[in-house]
Amino acid sequence: MTAPFSPSTAPEGARRSLPDAPLLVAARGGVPSRVPVWFMRQAGRSLPEYRSVREGVPMLQACFDPGLLTEITMQPVRRHGVDAAILFSDIVVPLYAAGLGIDIVPGTGPVVAHPVRTAADVDALPELTVEQVAPVAEGVSMLVRELGETPLIGFAGAPFTLASYLIEGGPSRNHEHTKALMHAEPELWHRLAARLADVTTTFLRAQLAAGVDAVQLFDSWAGALSPRDYREFVLPHSAAVLAAVADYDVPRIHFGVGTGELLPALREAGADVVGVDWRVPLDEAARRLRAAGEPEPVVQGNLDPALLMASWPVIEAEVRRIVEEGRGAAGHIFNLGHGVLPETDPEVLTRVVELVHSL
């Protein structure tokens, strides 16, 4: 058991030196020894060992148990031989840690007790302190000792997605309350988004101080926005988060679902690697991401998670196509276009890893 995390006990030199780790080499635009691969939601319901250790343990409780989150994070590394571990967590973890009335309801997702829709609601939002996420940082410290040469990716939800959960009260198909507040009360929107950017920054910096090797900013719902709205209402706040962790000099991955029209803006926010869902081929994504005077883009993705239910010849053909398309970027980290579906056969994931590593 490690000592509890605090700013004074988190030396900046604690991060491991992993100069040859394929994921980190690819993320920096270098030439890795093999195409690196990991999967969003690789630690989760597709694994029987995950279901076993989570039995009877609520999701948020698991996220704050250092030993349990370490075990869950390690499971896909042991089973699949992936090139990175992703910290087991949830988008709403920092909100819960800060003291908001929020819970993860099975079959529904995050549910907020009192939606945030007024200036008074925004003013009442608590700040997050590193002490409130000390168990998560302790789990990170345990993980970096166990992972050997495998990088650990830190994780946080982007301000827009956090705001959407708070405003809607839970998952939403249309984000109608969020969009209405954005346009009707832009000053209030920006105050809320700035507060949430601070929460996300504190959460990521706690993970970084404890030793994660890269971070992913996950904007689940950004694809619901037009490019104009994204640039006006979201880009400044995601950029603030990514800028606030730049001094750690680790790769910063930015991903959203349905964000094909937003790819250039996601990179402009400060991403070193842009995650691409399955709707846009990676060579086309790289073309959209190119910008004059900027380094060649690095992409992550983008096998459709649903296709893991198909026959192996179908999966193999798709994997080979995606790896080939990924060669059109400066670097490519193989992943899915979103998270692993619970019904996925773990053996298929292992075969995908083996195939990617052979190409």
CA distances to 23, 92, 108, 294, 309 from 45, in Å:
24, 18, 15, 39, 15
Active site residue 51: no
**CA neighbours closer than 13 Å in the CB half-sphere of residue 280:** 23
Active site residue 90: yes
What kind and span of H or E run contains 10?
A: none
Bridge partners of 332, per DSSP, are: 299
Active site residue 65: no
**Given 16, 28, 34, 45, the catalytic residue:** 45
**Given 34, 90, 121, 288, the catalytic residue:** 90
Placement of tokens 């019904």 in the chain: 343
Active site residue 45: yes
**Given 15, 50, 54, 79, the catalytic residue:** 54
**CA neighbours closer than 13 Å in the CB half-sphere of residue 272:** 22
Active site residue 165: yes
CB 132 within 8 A of CB 93: no
**CA neighbours closer than 13 Å in the CB half-sphere of residue 300:** 33
**Given 15, 50, 65, 165, the catalytic residue:** 165
**CA neighbours closer than 13 Å in the CB half-sphere of residue 34:** 14
DSSP state of 292: T
| Catalytic annotation, residues | 41, 45, 54, 90, 165
